[in-house]
Amino acid sequence: MICKYLVTLSILISNAVTASCVWDTLDGNPTKLLGHRGEKAFMPEHSLGSYHMAAFESADYIEPDVVASKDGELVIMHSEWMSDTTNVASIPKFADRKRNFFFNGTYAKINRTDFWIFDFTFAELQEIKLVQENFFPYRPQYFNNDFTILSVDNYLDLIANLTNTMNRTFGIVPELKSPEVFNWLNPSPNGRWFEDKLLGILEKRGFFANQPPASDPLMVGGDLLNEVMNIKPANYKAPNYKRAVIQSFDPDTCKYLASKTKIPIVYLDQRTPTTYTPKGLDIVAKFSNILSMGKEIMLDGPENYFTNEKIAFNKTQIAEMGGFLNPEQLVAEAHKRGIRLSPYTFNDSRQKLNYYCNRGLNPNATFCPTNRKEELFYFFNLGTDYMFVENIFEAQVLRLAYDYKVRYGVDA
Ligand SMILES: *[C@@H]1O[C@H](CO)[C@@H](O)[C@H](O)[C@H]1NC(C)=O
Ligand SMILES: *[C@@H]1O[C@H](CO)[C@@H](O)[C@H](O)[C@H]1NC(C)=O
Ligand SMILES: *[C@@H]1O[C@H](CO)[C@@H](O)[C@H](O)[C@H]1NC(C)=O
Ligand SMILES: *[C@@H]1O[C@H](CO)[C@@H](O)[C@H](O)[C@H]1NC(C)=O
Ligand SMILES: *[C@@H]1O[C@H](CO)[C@@H](O)[C@H](O)[C@H]1NC(C)=O
Ligand SMILES: *[C@@H]1O[C@H](CO)[C@@H](O)[C@H](O)[C@H]1NC(C)=O
Ligand SMILES: *[C@@H]1O[C@H](CO)[C@@H](O)[C@H](O)[C@H]1NC(C)=O
C-alpha cells in the first residue's frame, strides 16, 4: 500500500523509480510459479518432456505427484489409476488387470473400475507409455507414447541434471497422493511407510541438510527478469541448499511430515470451511507453512464459495472461530501466522475461465476476471505467495508485467 502511494508521488514529481516497492507476498518477492505436473499444457503430464519444458520455461518449482508400484517403488502419476494419462488400456497383456477398487478412508475415497498403479511392478510400468489428456484441442497429442512412467528417483535425477546443465536451481514439490491407500497396501510398524519412504529418499539426496532460508533476499529492479532469463549477476554464488516443499491433502500426513523434517509442508485443503477462519489458520500454522486451496475460494471469499458449492458449514462454529475471512483478510491473517498461500490451478488462456462469476452464477464475487491477465493480476495483487500454473510461459510474461507495474507503477 505504501508502495503504491510512493509510486504515484514519484510519477507525479519526477518519474523517478522508488526502490521501496515490493510485492504483497510474505517476503515481498514475486509470486513463485509451480509448474503443474511439469508443463502439463503442452506435454504428457509427469513425463521427462513435461519436466524438461517446465525447467526451460523457468518454473520456480516443478511438481511431481507421488504414488507407489506393487513392489514398493515410489512412482509418479497424478491418480492411483492410469487410464486417463497412459496407453495401458491398449496393451493386450495387461487387459485382465482392469478391476474395481473401493476405498473408504477418512480423506481418500475411491470407487472406480480402472487399471491401478499398485497392481503393477515398476518393471511392468516401464512397458506403459504416457499420453496427453485429450480434453482441449490446443494440447498436442503428438508426444503421446514417447515417454514412460518415472520413479521419484528418475525425477530427482532429472532435476539434478537440469540444475547442472542450466546452472540454476529448481524447487521440488512432491505431493503424496492418498497416503491412506499406500500405507494400507504397505503395512509398517508406525503405519507411515509411504511418508517414510519419500523422506528417506529426500534425506539421502541432501534435502534435509541443505534447506534454504525461510525467506529469499528481497528482489529489486531487474532481478526477476534476470532470474527468468537465467542471467547471473556478477557476484553470483551458487546456493548451497536444495529447495523443496512436500504437499498432501491428508492433514494427518502433513502433521507427521512436519514432525520429521524441516522441509516446508504444503497443506492442500480439501474444502474444509473452518480452515478459512482465524482459529482455523491457527490450527494449520501448527503443521503447515503453506496453505493451498482451490483458486475459486480466494476469488469468491469462503462464505460465498461454500454456499455456491452447497458445502454445509455450522454458522455458530464459524463465528466462534472468528468468522470467515474475506480474500484480503485471508492473506493478511495467513501471513501474520507465517503461512504462505498457494492456490491452484491456473490454466492456459485457451481454456475458458470457469469461475461461478464467469458463468453468471455469482453476483457477489470479490472480482470477476474476464481473461488470464486480469485473473493473475488479481491474485498477484492479493499477495499470493505461490501459484500452481499451466502454460508457464504465459504466467512468466504476466508476472514480469506485474513486477514492472509494482516497481515502476506502469501498466504494461
Ligand atoms: C464410508 O465410511 C463412513 C464412515 O465410516 C460411512 O459413514 C460411509 O457410509 C462409508 N461410505 C461408503 C460408501 O461405504
Ligand atoms: C461404486 O460405484 C458403483 C458404480 O458407480 C456403484 O454401483 C456402487 O454402489 C459403488 N459402491 C459403493 C460401495 O459405493
Ligand atoms: C542424468 O544424467 C546422467 C549423466 O549424464 C545420465 O546418465 C542420466 O540418464 C540422466 N538422467 C535423467 C533422468 O536425465
Ligand atoms: C554457473 O554460473 C556461474 C555464474 O555465472 C559461473 O561462475 C559458473 O561457472 C557456472 N557454472 C557452470 C557449471 O556453468
Ligand atoms: C454448531 O457448532 C456449535 C458450536 O461449536 C455447537 O454447539 C453445535 O452443536 C453445532 N451444531 C450442529 C448442528 O452441529
Ligand atoms: C484447470 O485445470 C485444472 C487442473 O488440471 C482442472 O481441474 C480444471 O478443470 C481446469 N479448468 C478449466 C476451466 O479448464
Ligand atoms: C449475495 O449476497 C447477498 C447479501 O449477503 C445475499 O442475500 C445473496 O443471497 C447473495 N447472492 C448469491 C447468489 O450468493
The model's pLDDT over 312-337, given as tens digits with 9 standing for 90+, comes to 999 999 999 999 999 999 999 999 99
Q: How many angstroms is it from 181 CA to the middle of ligand 1? A: 15
316 CB near ligand 5 (under 6 Å)? yes
Mean of the per-residue pLDDT values for the chain? 94
Distance 378 CA to ligand 3 centre (A): 40
Read off the pLDDT band of 14 (50, 70, 90): very low
| Least distant ligand from the CA of 102 | 2
Q: Is 154 in the pocket of ligand 3 (CB under 6 A)?
A: yes
Residue 134 beta carbon below 6 angstroms from any ligand 3 atom: no
pTM, 2 dp? 0.94
pLDDT tens by residue, 239-249: 889 999 999 99
Name the closest-CA residue to atom 13, ligand 3.
158
| Residue found by looking up cell 464459495 in the block | 305
DSSP conformational letter for 244: B
> b or e along 221-233 (b: 16 or more beta carbons within 10 Å of the residue's beta carbon)?
eebbeebbeeeee
148 lines ligand 6 (CB under 6 A): no
Decide if 20 is inside a domain.
Answer: no
CATH code where residue 42 lies: 3.20.20.190
Contacts of 221 (CB under 8 A, 6+ apart): 17, 19, 407
Residue 365 lies in a domain: yes
How far are the Cα atoms of 104, 249, 298, 304, 340 from residue 325, in angstroms, in the given order? 32, 21, 10, 11, 15
Regarding the beta carbon of 364 and ligand 7, being less than 6 Å apart is answered yes
Task: Give 273 Cα–ligand 7 centroid separation in angstroms.
Answer: 18
Considering every ligand atom, which ligand is closest to the CA of 363?
7
Choice among 2-6, 76-80, 87-91, 277-281 with the minimum mean pLDDT: 2-6
15 lines ligand 7 (CB under 6 A): no
User: How much distance in Å is there from the Cα of 108 to the middle of ligand 7?
Assistant: 33
* 125 pLDDT above the threshold of 50: yes
> Is 26 contained in some domain?
no
Average of per-residue pLDDT across 267-293: 97
- Classify residue 203 by its DSSP letter: H
Give the range of the structural domain holding residue 273, as residue numbers without chain letter: 32-408
Tell me, yes or no, whether 205 lies in a domain. Answer: yes
pLDDT of residue 1: 36
- Give the three-state DSSP class for 100: strand
**DSSP class of residue 145?**
T
Q: Please compute the mean of the pLDDT values over residues 52-79 and round it to a whole number.
A: 98
Q: What is the tens place of the pLDDT at every residue in 187-231?
A: 999 999 999 999 999 999 999 998 899 899 999 989 999 999 999
User: Looking at per-residue confidence, does 75 or 2 come out higher?
Assistant: 75
Q: What is the pLDDT of residues 152-198, one digit of tens each?
A: 999 999 999 999 999 999 999 999 999 999 999 999 999 999 999 99
Q: Is 3 contained in some domain?
A: no
Q: Is 391 strand, coil or helix?
A: coil
Residue 237, pLDDT score:
85
pLDDT of residue 19: 44
Cβ(71) – ligand 5 distance below 6 Å: no
pLDDT the model gives residue 20: 52
- Pocket of ligand 3 contains residue 55 by CB under 6 Å: no
pLDDT of residue 3: 59
pLDDT in tens, 357-394: 999 998 888 899 999 999 999 999 999 999 999 999 99
Instruction: Give 266 Cα–ligand 5 centroid separation in angstroms.
Output: 29
Find out whether the beta carbon of 111 lies less than 6 Å from any atom of ligand 2: yes
The amino acid sitting at 128 is I
Question: Which of 277, 279, 313, 317 to probe ligand 5 with, by most ligand atoms within 8 A of CB?
Answer: 317
Encode pLDDT of 386-399 as tens digits: 999 999 999 999 99
Residue whose C-alpha cell is 504428457: 44
* Nearest ligand to residue 167 Cα: 4
Atom in ligand 2 nearest the alpha carbon of residue 104 = 13
Mean pLDDT of 24-33: 97
Residue 43 lies in a domain: yes
Give the atom of ligand 7 at the shortest distance from the alpha carbon of 308: 14
Q: Are 299 and 365 in contact (CB under 8 A)?
A: yes
CA-nearest of 187, 172, 163 to 68 is 187
In a domain, 25, yes or no: no
Tell me, yes or no, whether 7 lies in a domain. no
- The predicted pLDDT at position 134 comes to 83
pLDDT at position 238? 85
Total structural domains within the chain: 1
